[in-house]
Amino acid sequence: MNLEYYKKWNRHYEKPRFSITEDEAKELHEDGKHYVVVIKDKEVIKYVVEVFFNIYFCGVLYYDAQGKVSDSFIKEGNMLF
Residue 62, pLDDT score:
67
Average pLDDT value for residue range 1-30: 91
**Could you tell me the pLDDT band of residue 7, with boundaries at 50, 70 and 90?**
very high
pLDDT at 44: 86
Domain that holds residue 33: 2-75
Domain annotation covers residue 81:
no
Overall number of domains in the chain: 1
Q: Cα separation of 10 and 78, whole Å? A: 28
Would you state the torsion angle of the CA atoms of residues 77, 81, 75, 64, taken in this order, to the nearest 10 degrees?
Answer: 150
Give domain status of residue 28, yes or no: yes
